[in-house]
Amino acid sequence: MRMSHADTLFELLGKQSRHLSHWLILEETGQTLSSLYRQVTALEYEWLFLETPYADFLKRSPVVLRVNDAIGDLLRVFSQDPRKGIAPGIVVASQAPEEEVLGHLRTCLSVAFYGDRKGMVRYYHPDVAAALFGSPEYVSQAWFGPLDRWIWHGEVHPRNPVASAWHALCADDDESVPHEEQGHTAVTQSTATPAVALSRGQEAALERHIRVMRAWKEFRQPGESLDDPEAYRRFLASARFEQALGEKNDPLAVVEAPTQSPSQWSAT
């Protein structure tokens, strides 16, 4: 695996050497579909939760759109503001047929973590994708299946967020997680669950992400928004942020039990 970075989404897509198809996965915020229909007359999409344990919650299901000429303008709007322009989301790339891509994306919703716990992970939010895929050494090949790229937008590095960029985790070789991580994955998968197993590194990254989000909600100044890059960077540099990272919290705000309603799932 290898990481690729670019200042813009289209620059990143242009770096790809093989002919790939792309899919846009957008979180349903309650206004996502209505916004899409205002911009695309003949909208074609798939519910991500369809044919999954979460199918009862289709009204909150992310939507998956294959990138083509019909949604070219939509992709440009998303690329300019991948959190608020339409809805938070990510892009995936593959040479496989759409049915295989959708099947794999649905499989990746269910994860095993802490050995024998199971739940759902919101990998389609860019901040969660950054936690899951930002360190290739902790990512199992099981996340790729028929996919060639996981693509998201975020800070260059959460400890030194000088600027935001687009990132792609590319399955271009046979590298896999370190020996310790492989053993952890093998033990988890031996329980005969269809869920993708989180590595220890991914678990730690999600825990850290949740501590940061909870601290932000507690310590932010009145009127400050998480979508304001300058305010967020000031928070990351603060002593309160460093204090928050030392606290332990349950990562179930990102990894949720399948029996819970999506209205209880935390976005960040």
String of b and e for 41-53 (b: at least 16 CB within 10 Å)?
eeeebbbbbeebe
In a domain, 206, yes or no: no
In a domain, 224, yes or no: no
Q: Given pLDDT bands bounded at 50, 70 and 90, which one contains residue 85?
A: confident
Structural domain boundaries enclosing 176 = 2-198
The dihedral over CA atoms of 69, 73, 76, 78, expressed in degrees to the nearest 10, equals: -110
CA distance 52 to 103: 10
pLDDT of residue 175 exceeding 60, the answer is no
In a domain, 103, yes or no: yes
In a domain, 176, yes or no: yes
* pLDDT confidence of residue 87: 93
The residues, ordered by sequence, that sit 6+ positions from 26 with a Cβ below 8 Å of its Cβ are 32, 36, 62, 63, 65, 78, 86, 87, 88, 89, 124
- Kindly report, residue by residue over 99-146, the tens digit of the pLDDT: 999 999 999 999 999 988 999 999 999 999 999 999 999 999 999 999
Give me the number of domains the chain comprises: 1
In a domain, 30, yes or no: yes
User: What is the token pair recorded at 30?
Assistant: 């309650």
User: What is the token pair recorded at 176?
Assistant: 């896999």
In a domain, 104, yes or no: yes
* pLDDT confidence of residue 189: 36
In a domain, 141, yes or no: yes
In a domain, 144, yes or no: yes
* pLDDT confidence of residue 240: 67
String of DSSP letters for 88-145: SEEEEEESS-HHHHHHHHHHTTEEEETTTEEEEE-TTSHHHHHHHHS-GGG--GGGTT
